[in-house]
A and B are shown apart, each in its own frame.
Chain A
């Protein structure tokens, strides 16, 4: 994937102040026939201190450094446009190496290669083959794959260069992720995130250049095939001198197919991103390169018997279960589940250490501002197989907590007539529901979140909260 950007028309912020000695001007630059030596040196020195290029080789003495010159708008614009259109025509059948050589020859230290961490590393190889000095910049969005950072490092070492990394503005990133989170692009689309992490840093980088080199190819965007010339005045971004037409864009591999790019990389032993070997075709930021939403967490744990239908008795299934229980008993008597009047299914959690709470009892417990002790209460239905399964654990727990711990264990039958009350006031969602009532009611009642209802797990819950 070559460096492809969506653009916005908002005014860019620049971290590269323009050189003071230059007068502001309209129109594009031209190469003066006889450069002024002193000005040239001054210019070079100033730019170096701003962008700190570290090239593999010193710039050639015979390279032409373009100087700003005032020209009339009409003739400058037309002449410049014509010039680059002509150059694009001349170079349309040239090899990438020839185009790269021409670009570096023409713009010297005011041009840089945009390297995204993908197969556009070929651009760097071509630049090296010209024997000319060259600059490279990359956009570190703060969310790239680790493999991409490793490739950047390998490329720096392989070619003996320093990549001029661009990083997004802290205030802009913070504003985005604080209001919309770290994965807003899955919901809003990528435009806003790309603008903050890619486009605006790119704009800042280009303001320090007069030309740039991209790895864009026609075969990557068949719909705009005829619209990627090998060189053009950049229609979107602005360069060092400001204004439309102040930046030239070179696309040396526009006419090369992906297949041939890869042959070139293999032949020349160019370092490549290890993600390609893992099946990635296009490479960008990590969340967008393998766009998967964070997986739903599998429901934790399993009960000690398999039941594909449910792990809990849902309220909407209450009647079904009840009927099922009836079928098992094989009698047709209607089951009245009035509180305290259970004749068909025997009650559970019978223990002197488990307090049986009436409706009034649990209402009072919920209202109390200062309880003498914290309470653990199970909301249950005696016919619920999951409540039955935890009976032994809960009674054991009550036995353990009895006496010296200052902890009360209770039960409240919440089916039948009590169901609606328990749903609205006691967080009942399914049977069983286990609640912790803290000693001081400035804290809310806490519902046990796990399905692990063995003694040790319940004890850990109690100890964590009292």
Chain B
């Protein structure tokens, strides 16, 4: 995947200037000697050597390029010059003509021309994918070259390792760009870390890619991308080998101040990969894991964080439910009735199904009893209360554990109780006691008005004991 950047027309030159870091502000100061101008630059017939030397020195100290080979003496250093507006058209015409001349050239020839023409004011945009071919071509020209990459802060670990391998393989230093801290913080604090799954990627890409890219390009007069026609058939005719960049601005500012080279525009992916294999170029290990396109980690393998599987299973299988849901309450009640083979109404206290949790250590709470318990600000003891229905199979299943727990906790400062919450009491329990399904287990702490609901389905003695101990 070549570096593909979506752009937003709303961003202004002023915003771009404001976004520039102090790092590139020094670049701005280095061009104080140049008069501001409109349009693109041209090569003067006879460059002023002393001025060029000063320029080079200044730029090097600002951006610290470390190239594999020293600067050639015979490279042409372009100098800024004031020109009249009509000549802008001539300059554009030049690049259109150049694109035609190079249409059938090899990537190596195009790369060589680009580096020769722009010297230290051009850089390769390397995304960490198969566009590493651009670096190999640059290396093969024998000319010095610069490379920059966008570290979005969310790349795959394999991509960071690949950047490192490329630096070592070619003996270069990649000029990494990193997003602005304030902008990233504003985005993720308001919308979270995965807003692109909901809002689309535009806003995140603008913060993490486009704006850092804009800052990088403000330090250049030209850049080189790995864009290919076969990656975007719909705009096939619109990727020339070389063009005045229609979107971004370069070192001298303004539209037309940046030239964009696409040396592999006419090469198809298969041939790129043949080239990489033939030349033993290091490649991102993600490719051998089946990734075709590579970008930020969450967007490269776009899966939402998986829903946590409901924890645990009950000790018998029941595909229908692990709890008696309130919307199924009547159905379950009917089930129980059918099991008993009679149709008697189950009023509170008048139980067709035998009551459960019967133990001298389990306090049976009436409606008013639990209302008072819930109101208390200061209780003498912690209370653990189960909201249950005697016909509920899952409540029945935990009866033994709960009674055992009550015996363990007797005289330990924790009271264990039960409240029958089906029938007439159901609505009250739903609205006031967090009842969501049967059974619901609540802890009423000694000093607090808020009961805490037991969140797990593990209702064995040890798990319930751990819950109580954690909270008292």
Contact = CB atoms under 8 A, between A and B. Distances in A.
B467 interface: yes
Interface stretch (B7-15, B87-95, B180-188, B342-350): B180-188
Contacts of B456: 266-269
A14 to B, nearest CB: 12
B193 A167 contact: no
Interface in A163-182: 163-171, 173-175, 177-179, 181-182
A280 interface: no
Interface string B159-194: 011011101000001111111111011001110111
Nearest to B296: A146
B160 A131 contact: no
B178 A173 contact: yes
Contacts of A201: 181
A115 interface: no
B417 to A, nearest CB: 20
B176 A174 contact: yes
A449 interface: yes
B450 interface: yes
Interface residues of B, number: 63
B192 A460 contact: no
A443 B275 CA distance: 18
A457 interface: yes
A181 B173 contact: yes
A466 B107 CA distance: 11
A293 to B, nearest CB: 9
Interface stretch (B231-239, B277-285, B316-324, B399-407): B277-285
A340 B231 CA distance: 54
Contacts of A162: 189-190, 192
A153 interface: yes
Contact of A153 (B179, B305, B470): B305
B280 A300 contact: yes
Given A167-B184, A173-B178, A450 B280 contact: yes
Interface string B210-221: 001000000000
A158 to B, nearest CB: 9
A457 B278 contact: yes
A388 to B, nearest CB: 23
Interface hub of A150, A450, A452 (most chain B Cβ within 10 A):
A150
B22 A171 contact: yes
Interface hub of B181, B282, B452 (most chain A Cβ within 10 A):
B181
Contact of B153 (A15, A95, A167): A167
Given A287-B157, A443-B140, A460-B275, A153 B151 contact: no
A165 B188 contact: yes
A276 interface: no
Contacts of B188: 140, 165, 167
Contacts of B142: 442-444
Interface in B76-106: 106
A183 B168 CA distance: 12
A294 B173 contact: no
18 contacts: A97-B471, A129-B471, A131-B450, A146-B156, A146-B298, A153-B305, A167-B185, A168-B178, A173-B178, A174-B176, A174-B177, A178-B176, A183-B160, A267-B467, A287-B157, A294-B164, A446-B140, A450-B277
Given A142-B151, A268-B467, 7 more contacts: A143-B160, A152-B193, A181-B167, A460-B277, A461-B279, A464-B278, A465-B140
